[in-house]
Amino acid sequence: MSVSLPPRGRGTASNPFNRYAPTQIIASDDGWFQEVPPSRATEVRAETAKSIITRNQSPDLPFDRSINPYRGCEHGCIYCYARPSHAYWDLSPGIDFETRLIAKTNAAALLEQQLSMRGYVCAPIALGSNTDPYQPIEREQRLTRQILEVLLRYRHPLTIVTKGSLILRDLDLLSELARQRLVAVMISLTTLDDELKRILEPRAAAPAARLRAIRVLRGQGIPVGVLCAPMIPMINDMELERLLEQAKRAGAQSAGYMFVRLPREVAPLFEEWLHAHYPQRAEHVLSLIRQSRGGELYDSRFGHRFTGQGVFAGLLAQRFAVAIKRLGLNRRAGFDLDGSKFCPPGGQLALL
């Protein structure tokens, strides 16, 4: 299988056409040249969004609403299940997903409007359910911080999932939200191996930086858990217990995990990545995934898509259950958020 290495600092070398493209142009490599892949700059396009709170009715998710201030993600994680969503904007789930990003610049103002709508019922908002709210472009865009300011102003609860150490920039807001029982954070920790992180999640924070984020957040009284996701057979699944142990040592209070998901265009991108970086192991990895997905590389059924099924997936689930019980990560202390203090824009905040 012929494979190409990705541009420096990116997760994939491919830019497959999205499934809605009316035409396709295919370039052919005649094998004469083996050039070093050039770097590719990140482009950010501003979008005036029409809506900012996304609703879902999935029985697999512990929340029914979420906010994603960005489309696409500069972290470049090769396994990212959100890659196919880039096709909706006539962009590729491949390198476009990592480099051609969209920022919802009116996110905070729109959120304030939606919170003030008649009939709005308060419940925790998941921040970063699709793409990471603390990806590198947040440093300049500051959309996540603006959203936190709105939620704190009106005492609205939220949860955050991130693998970006930039979250520590917002300790002032997060500490006050935590003091009012309005926030809980899950840090995604995929590997402790810096080299694996470099090729698997090119622009995400280093493992040590994520453990430091857990430590600092807990030091400020902010509820923090760890999310070991995704677990990939023969790539990082052997690290599961060590990931949980290091997270516990850093201060994590709870833990979750997910089996690797490869929907739509993610599967061929992941296969290409495997053959580029683990050519001798690739077919074994894919075989174990298929064994855990009913013979396919993806199973979209509720109740199965996050954990898989079969012998390998069952053993992984058992290992996780034993580890979190041993480490005391099977508790949810501090994760019960308080929505009773919510006062919508235009309402009268309580003095005490």
Residue 227 CA to its chain's centroid (Å):
10
The bridge status of strand 100-104 relative to strand 254-259 is: unpaired
Give pLDDT, residue 351: 46
- The neighbouring-strand residues paired with 104 are 47
- Does the pLDDT value for residue 132 go beyond 60? yes
- Does the pLDDT value for residue 278 go beyond 60? yes
Give pLDDT, residue 41: 87
Task: Please indicate, yes or no, if residue 144 is contained in any of the structural domains.
Answer: yes
DSSP label of 259:
E
Phi, psi torsion values for 2, nearest 5 degrees: -80, 125
Task: Please indicate, yes or no, if residue 7 is contained in any of the structural domains.
Answer: no
Task: Please indicate, yes or no, if residue 108 is contained in any of the structural domains.
Answer: yes
Under the banding of pLDDT at 50, 70 and 90, the label for residue 9 is confident
- The neighbouring-strand residues paired with 255 are 226
- Does the pLDDT value for residue 113 go beyond 90? yes
Q: Greater confidence, 234 or 20?
A: 234
Q: Which of 21-25, 40-44, 79-83, 252-256 has the lowest mean pLDDT?
A: 21-25
- The neighbouring-strand residues paired with 127 are 67, 160
Task: Please indicate, yes or no, if residue 35 is contained in any of the structural domains.
Answer: no
The 10s digit of each residue's pLDDT in 10-49 is 878 677 766 666 655 455 555 554 454 556 789 999 999 9
DSSP label of 136:
T
Q: Which domain holds residue 200?
A: 45-259
- Does the pLDDT value for residue 310 go beyond 60? yes
Average pLDDT, the chain: 91
Give pLDDT, residue 39: 67
How many domains is the chain built from? 1
DSSP H helices in the chain: 95-99, 107-115, 138-141, 143-153, 171-179, 194-200, 207-219, 240-250, 266-277, 282-291, 310-327
Task: Please indicate, yes or no, if residue 346 is contained in any of the structural domains.
Answer: no
Amino acid at site 345: P
- The neighbouring-strand residues paired with 231 are 259
- Domain containing 178 — which CATH number? 3.20.20.70
Task: Please indicate, yes or no, if residue 173 is contained in any of the structural domains.
Answer: yes
Task: Please indicate, yes or no, if residue 323 is contained in any of the structural domains.
Answer: no
| Burial of 121: CB neighbours in 10 Å, binned 0-12, 13-18, 19+ | exposed
Contact by Cβ (8 Å): 13, 5: yes
Contacts of 110 (CB under 8 A, 6+ apart): 49, 50, 51, 52, 104
Task: Please indicate, yes or no, if residue 55 is contained in any of the structural domains.
Answer: yes
In angstroms, the CA 325 to CA 287 distance is: 30
Give pLDDT, residue 345: 82
Give pLDDT, residue 2: 54
Mean pLDDT (whole number) for 253-265: 95
Percent of the chain with pLDDT over 90: 77
DSSP label of 272:
H
